[in-house]
Amino acid sequence: MLLLVVNKVLAVGTIAGQIFIVLGLIAFFLYRQDSGNRFLNFFGQHGLLLAWLMSVVATASSLFYSEFAGFEPCFLCWWQRIFMYPQVVLLGLALWRKDWRIADYGLPLAVLGAVISLYHNYLYYGGSSIVRCDAFGRGVSCLRLYIFEFSYVTLPLMALTGFILVVFLLGLQHWYNRRSIS
């Protein structure tokens, strides 16, 4: 029962995150010159906090699925974890120390994780791979379907959305701080 509730909550959160990304990008490209834009100013000021919260949710969700639900992570999932888990510590420390320059370090990690996640989604939705995912020594295939909510939300899609949210939020924080300095 708990697994079904968590799946639905995270699927709804994934969809909400995707909507936020689309609306945020539209707002950014249309209104980035408007210094009075409340949306961009709010998310620019709080981008680090929100990116940290996203990394905490992504890490906790990942651990929930592997440790509680018993979903064995595939090879690509492990690589995505390598790029998300440190974000909890790095962004948390930066938030605590008010180090707004963390985007210089957090963005490359999030972008690399997003690239791996994008490739995982490419494979998941029918793309061809040169080498089978389970050929890397992990027993589980990268194509194993654990979750399929609302006819399109899967674990790889949740991960991709999480990485893109972290990239977008850190990018907004970086943009806001650069604009505030000049």
Per-residue pLDDT tens for 18-74? 999 999 999 999 988 888 889 999 999 999 999 999 999 999 999 999 999 999 998
Q: pTM of the full predicted structure?
A: 0.93
Token pair 């893109």 in the structure block, residue: 164
Give the chain's mean pLDDT: 91
Give the whole-angstrom CA distance, residue 51 versus residue 134: 31
| pLDDT for 150 beyond 90 | yes
pLDDT at 179: 83
pLDDT-derived band at 180, boundaries 50, 70, 90: confident
- C-alpha torsion sign, points 152, 155, 160, 166: positive
